[in-house]
Chains A and B, each alone.
Chain A
Amino acid sequence: MDNVDKNILEILEQDARTKPDEIAKLTGISGEEIQEKIKHFEQAGIIRKYKTIVDWDVAGEDYVYAIIELKVTLQRRQGYQVIAERLYKFDEVRSVRLISGDHDISLTVRGKSMKQVAFFVAEKIATLENIQSTSTHFVLKTYKEDGVILSETEQVKRLPITP
């Protein structure tokens, strides 16, 4: 990965909507080359997806998030991968991670209400045969999501003209 590649990825990571021509101006490389490189990133799985970070609180949609920690029992010829696959296929499940410590797997679950999330966990997750126990933590407020600060960010207080 050279500096040009890093530049393109950093620009898109900051704003996925930056057009190839603009990236060209910022990097000194032609727009066509940029397009080719982006295509390559997409095909190679370096760029997975272009998404928008929405603050649903501000939008007035009251989603409920919960972090669910799971203890699992591994069966013969069956690793964590198989369990993870069963978990991530649920639309309610927003993220699945294998973790170290007291628990084995951590999920983020999104629902319309606490009740809905609680039922989902009780009926769909806890009943899976590999799941030994679950521990549900409801999210009260999100301050920072994926590197983006969701509460008010601080402004650099600079004078308009300085030497």
Chain B
Amino acid sequence: MLNNCDPSRFLASKLENVPPSGIRRFFDLVSDIDDVVSLGVGEPDFHTPWHIREACIHAIEEGETSYTSNFGLKELREEISNLYLLRHSTHYNPENEVLITTGVSEALDIAIRTIVNPGDEIIIVEPSYVAYTPSVIFSGGTPVPVKTHVENNFKLVPEDLRSAISDKTKAIILNYPNNPTGAAMGKKELELIADIVEENDLLVISDEIYECLTYNKKHTCFATLEGMKERTILLNGFSKAYSMTGFRVAYALAPPEIINAMMLIHQYTMLCAPTVAQIGAIEALKYGNSSMDKMIREYDRRRRLIVNSFNDIGLSCFEPEGAFYAFPSVRSTGLTSEHFAEKLLNEQKVATVPGDVFGKSGEGFLRCSYAASTENIKIALERIEQFISDLE
């Protein structure tokens, strides 16, 4: 019978292991409700600085709309190389150690595809950004979660990492400052991780997209730790530091052998990152740093407001040191993350993201983004306080 033809039988079986993002489900729920105050947004609420947008408009007027080199514009690679020299005293050769990608999402995907053989285990530090586990599955690898805990401020504990390593382990994906917890790790703490990486001959994919958003401490670039440069694929971009999420431009820094291999996939799948976005990125690196200090101070104020308020309300919240997320615990209410977030949305019209979306160890927590205006944060917190008192 021809009408018996079910298109889903054509789908690859590896997709069966990938559930749709829990964020997607929440997005659909939120879309049906009016007047929602959202703490659910994983992108800055600042506009892309006007000089960056203006540079892009000018580039289009000047006809800079064709492909660039597969590696990305040379000037951009040189600016990035300079940035790392100035900021972290480490040198990446713009000729063969820098690859411009379409967002960190692409960089992450091709980094994983570059290193994974079927059956290789990739360690993912949970709670984690939603793309890591699926990307490993898509590439035919096996994701191995390592939990982090609120007792350790969601930092990776060396013993936990050790116990997750097997003879099939190939790499670890690190993301500090972290989405969703806001945790950041200092130099000494990362050095302990680096020792284990070296002992076990592993590679690290270090997603440092929130590098610029650290509070009260200096960001440590994982590749600058002793012996780690040869073992690190560093991912970073322009979305968070310069509010350029929609431009889709980022980069990978790694030893030439790895960049070359990543390039092989990149040239056949993406060809190059959007040209206009690359020009905006050059503008950002050259002239965009003056507005950054002010932006970071603003985030820092909101961070204090949101963390103090959660603790006052009775939802205990550890002090996040990076990114723009607070990760309060809802365990005291007896509700699961998902139940809490859904009920809060329906009853008080505040959107948050349940912590279990980011892995099992996120259960019992909520991701609350403070990339929202102080005014909206205040309104959201008042509503959450009301919600909690209605529960009692």
Contact = CB atoms under 8 A, between A and B. Distances in A.
Interface size class of A (residues with CB under 8 A): 10 to 19
B341 to A, nearest CB: 10
Given A10-B294, A154-B47, A163 B301 contact: no
B74 interface: no
Interface stretch (B21-29, B164-172, B330-338): B21-29
Contacts of A26: 301-302, 304-305, 374
Interface in A1-26: 3, 6-7, 10-11, 25-26
Contacts of B31: 160
Contact of A162 (B41, B309, B374): B41
Interface string A64-80: 00000000000000000
Interface string B1-39: 000000000000000000001010011001100001010
A161 B351 CA distance: 8
A162 B26 CA distance: 10
Interface string A137-163: 000000000000000001010111111
B304 A28 contact: yes
Contacts of A154: 47
A5 B41 CA distance: 30
Contact of B304 (A10, A27, A156, A160): A27
B270 interface: no
Given A10-B294, A25-B309, A154-B47, A159 B41 contact: yes
Contacts of A28: 304, 308
Contacts, number: 61
A90 to B, nearest CB: 36
A12 B20 CA distance: 45
B297 A7 contact: yes
A162 B297 contact: no
Nearest to A11: B301
Nearest to A14: B374
Contacts of A161: 23, 26-27, 30, 38, 40-41, 351, 353
Interface of B: 21, 23, 26-27, 30-31, 36, 38, 40-43, 45-47, 129-131, 179, 294, 297-298, 300-302, 304-305, 308-309, 351, 353, 374
Closest 10 pairs between A and B when the two form their complex, measured CB to CB: A26-B301, A161-B40, A161-B27, A160-B38, A162-B42, A160-B30, A28-B304, A163-B130, A25-B305, A163-B42
